[in-house]
Structure 1
Amino acid sequence: MAKRNHRSSNISPINPSLHFLLFLVMALILIVVVANVMTEVSKNTRAAIVCPQNNQNQVAVIENLSKNCKYGVSYTTDGNNCKTWVCKPAPIASPKVTKKLVK
């Protein structure tokens, strides 16, 4: 019977320490991706829980504020990092154009 010339112990011709390094790199990439996804999901969840205007009809909020705000409304970020509609504190100063007289 002919003797087969192969090694059954090696799955891959790559060095085992290189396999370990590749595994570590792939694990690190997976950890970074999962951490970014979890951060984004937790931001959105926190905004849904903490930010009161997210659960309201935005058109109704703007209409209600427009009736009660003397200088109009603006879209801004509050202390909880929530995007909210608020009354403008003062009118925006419009730039005045002056005509120069040419002599």
Structure 2
Amino acid sequence: MSFKKDNPEKKTFEPKGLKITFQGETFTTLERKKQQDLKPKFYLFNIEKKFYLSSLYPTGEENTYYFDVKDDGKYLLRLIIDDSGTYKGYEIEEL
């Protein structure tokens, strides 16, 4: 997890390397090595079992992404960042 300084007055939180538990499995947020025009920058991957779950699509709301699971639907991932910019956790909501 890191911050990207696009604007010196505002820090954008990058969710790289976060551990997310979803449906009893632990996933890590990874950054694509090669940026592709149609693919989002970050995605969820289960390192232990070596499988891809979904891309993390920005919603337009800061620190909020949606992801879709084949045959299961769409989910909202909201990262909880305090006023000092520290990552505090996450919430997942079914859409």
Verify same fold: TM over 0.5.
no
Structure whose residues are more often strand by fraction: 2
* TM-score computed with the length of structure 1 as normaliser: 0.22
Q: Compare CA radii of gyration and give the structure with the larger one.
A: 1
Higher helix proportion:
1
